[in-house]
Every structure is written in structure tokens, then in C-alpha cells.
Amino acid sequence: MFSVGPVLLSIPNYLNTAINQRKLSSESGNASTVYYVVGLSELAEENHHFLYRFNMVLYLIILKIGPCAALTTLTGLLIHAMYKAEERSARYNTGR
């Protein structure tokens, strides 16, 4: 799961971007310079940018907010368990 997960999560980003070739003409018009730009792919521009929006939602909610919410929940549960353990320890020590 840990080796396949990142590959599966990278598929929408891979389909969303493309490297586009551009030509920049010189002022004299004799030579042109070729440069490359990272932009949206043709697939991402279809259907009113659905793939682009899906990719943003995937990364925003699932990959950014999701782990933060899980970490917050687990931290709260850990603090609660520590308070319960402290209460049990106090009851055990006073019972001696």
C-alpha cells in the first residue's frame, strides 16, 4: 500500500500537466529561441477544466486537510488516554 499509494495519487497530476514548446522570435527576425513551459494538458482543458478541478480538490481535501484532521483527532485521543492513565495511576498509588 505504501509503495502503490503515491503512484496512484500522482496519476491525476500527471494527466493534468503537460510540457508545451514555445518559440520566441528575435527582434531581427533571423533566429528564434525555443523554450518550454509547464501548463495544462489538452485533457485537463476539456470539459470545463474538470480534471484540473478534480486534481485541486484531491490535493486540497484528501492530501492536505485529511491528514491534519486525522492528526488532530489522534492527538486528542492520546491526551484523553494519558489523563485516564494518570487517574488510574493515582487510584493505584492511593490504594496502597
This prediction has a pTM of 0.53
Three-class DSSP labels, 47-72: CCCHHHHHHHHHHHHHHHHHHHHHHH
Q: Are 33 and 26 in contact (CB under 8 A)?
A: yes
Give the distance from CA 45 to its chain's centroid.
Answer: 21
- pLDDT string in tens for the chain (96-residue length): 568 888 888 888 888 899 989 888 777 667 778 899 998 888 888 888 888 888 888 888 888 888 899 999 999 999 999 999 999 998 888 876
Count of domains for the chain? 1
Q: Which domain holds residue 82?
A: 5-94
